[in-house]
A and B are shown apart, each in its own frame.
Chain A
Amino acid sequence: MNILPTDRVMPVLSCASLLSFWSLDFLSFQPNRIVPGTGFSADAALGWPWAFCMTALLLFIIAASFTRLRYRHAVQLVCLILLLLQLPLGLAGFSSVQVPDTLPHARTGIASGFWLLLFFAALMLIELQQKMHLSRLKILILLMLPLICLFWVYHTGQIESLALVREYTARSSQFQDALRVHLLLVCGAVGISLLSGFLLVSLMRQWPFIQKFIFGLLNFVQTIPSLALFGLLIAPLGYLASRSEFLQSINVSGIGWAPALIALVAYSLLPISRNIFIALEEVPYAVLESARGMGMSRVQVFLHVRLPLAMPVILEGVRITSIQAIGLTAVAALIGAGGLGSFIFQGLGQAAMDMILLGALPILVMALLADLLFSGLAGLFRNGAKQ
């Protein structure tokens, strides 16, 4: 019996894509930064033939799910990648047609139809990944095609009129600074909390009675909203800095990087130390015993047996922590810590939508990449343990 069920997920998602593709504005055009943009529907933005090609791809995806072909998911995946390839090309085509040389400040924008199409395409990609049991790495490699295409149209200057690109070019050095600060804060927080997590856990293993207290305290800190914790740190740190020459010399004050880092570490400690604790506890006693029996020293048992076996769970803690820290660092921009959040809040202050995107989109990408990286690493260690 090999009757493949016709699934309804792909047709539903493609219909939703078609609907947003045809009923909403696809791209938009602004003569300058201040004037509100005018929206263009898909056929007006891309021209009839192109819009029909993309529609045909989506219809093909729908049709493929009603067939009993064994390779229908692969066919759908190819269609989807082809569709995604059209998006950067469409942007480039629209920019070259719409933006006259006489308007140097004109900008093209991405409208809701485009975003929704992208969203549904992402959902279809996730669905196909599940159906075909592909690893996330393979999907990422496939996604490289549209991404390289996007990079190519960017690099050759074909989408320099895109509002997001215009915002970026105007602030490229600021952006790189912000990105560096953001990464530095996240890495610093994760690094410090990883070290202190190990320290805390070894203390807890020494004296089990402090375990409940420490986890209780860390849990309590985790409940306090980020804005409140940042706010609560301003007064005491400001006071300390005003008293100490040394703190002033390393640029510590009530606002800036210092309260941000302290708060980030405070938030990171719970997931990290909880995972380290669980990971080290979960290593089977028999394994440790046999390692000792083989004549390994205590240090060797820890480094060669216990730590590698505990690694997947520890890395899961690092994954949770870095994702959390990436988001919280964005909030830290409010207390002057810099980072990509400063674009978000500046953009909100000036009602400059593209500046908000310039801050928010890299944060999303960073969080996704951190997720991918650490879950991949944890997978490697897990496979290593199996062999």
Chain B
Amino acid sequence: MSNRKRLLFWGLPLFWGMCLFLATLGLPWLEELFRQIAPGHRQVIYSRDSFALLLGNHLLLVGLAALISISLGLASAVFVTRPYGRDFLPLVTQVASMGQTFPPVAVLALAVPLLGFGALPTIMALSLYGLLPIVRNTLVGIHSIDPALLESARGMGMSPLQVLWQVEMPLAANIIIGGIRTSVTINIATAAIGSTIGATTLGDPVISGLVNGNTAYVLQGAILIGLLAVTADSCLDRLQQWVSPRMDSRT
């Protein structure tokens, strides 16, 4: 890919990322505008924590949860597709698809009686819920590979580990990243609601604005959450596209 093409390709995520960056730093300067939206409030810019801190914390929560669910999800999907774990394949497939009928809010709420308030239960709930799309997509990805291809890889003398890393994973990468994308999108939204269970996230301004009837706070939080979600989604979308053509050129 030439430089110009690459810039165009990553243009959309870059654009949303810039918007997010500018909004995080620039919202406090729009005080006059927000005063119009929430007249009668002495303070119209959320100031308990800086937006940068909220954004950082939100990203940290989602990132940690994604790390846990990607590693656990990949590991369990790989385990059940190997000969020694095949017994568990029907169960895991069924649970991964049935689990997604549970609304993420309910999972988040149920984490509290079991684990208490704070950031840790949020991460646990996010990673547990985020596990499902990753497991499901990894299974779909691995099963969509032509068995003849695996057979020939084995026939070339590749070890099972080599087949996994050099054939199965690259061929399934596109679908796996699709699962990661779903998981991260849901988790960014759920982490925002996590501020009701005591995690510090971009949901804080929204919740505090709703409680105090301060529309300006709500708007600031909502803009940042929306921009974060759109940025992350477009990044992962491009990553997904970036992975697929490379495969084609190899085969």
Contacts and interface: CB of A to CB of B under 8 A. Distances in A.
B91 A123 contact: yes
Given A126-B91, A232-B222, A360-B106, A227 B189 contact: yes
A250 B165 CA distance: 60
Interface string A343-368: 01101100101001101100110011
A235 interface: yes
A148 interface: no
Nearest to A9: B87
A112 B114 contact: yes
B179 interface: no
Nearest to A367: B101
The winner among A129, A344, A353, A368 for most chain B CB atoms within 10 A is: A344
A360 B110 contact: yes
Q: Do most interface residues of chain B lie in helix, strand or loop, or is the interface mixed?
A: helix
Contacts of B113: 353, 356-357
Given A126-B98, A234-B215, A254-B215, A227 B106 contact: no
A43 interface: no
Given A123-B95, A126-B98, A225 B225 contact: yes
B102 interface: yes
A224 B226 contact: yes
Task: Categorize the interface residue count of chain B.
Answer: 35 or more
A183 B105 CA distance: 17
B189 A225 contact: yes
Interface in B160-190: 185, 188-189
Q: Do most interface residues of chain A lie in helix, strand or loop, or is the interface mixed?
A: helix
Contact of B91 (A9, A115, A341, A344): A9
A238 B112 contact: no
A231 B103 contact: no
Contacts of B215: 234-235, 238, 254
Interface in B198-239: 203, 206-207, 209-210, 215, 218-219, 221-223, 225-226, 229-230, 233
A345 B189 contact: no
B110 A356 contact: yes
B91 A231 contact: no
A220 B102 CA distance: 23
Interface residues of A, number: 53
B230 A363 contact: no
Given A220-B230, A225-B225, A228-B206, A356 B103 contact: no
The winner among A8, A223, A341 for most chain B CB atoms within 10 A is: A223
A61 interface: no
Contact of A232 (B114, B207, B219): B219
Interface of B: 37, 87-88, 90-91, 94-95, 98, 101-106, 109-110, 112-114, 117, 185, 188-189, 192-193, 196-197, 203, 206-207, 209-210, 215, 218-219, 221-223, 225-226, 229-230, 233
Top 10 nearest A-B pairs (CB, nearest first) are A327-B103, A231-B222, A225-B189, A228-B225, A353-B113, A228-B222, A228-B226, A130-B90, A360-B109, A231-B218
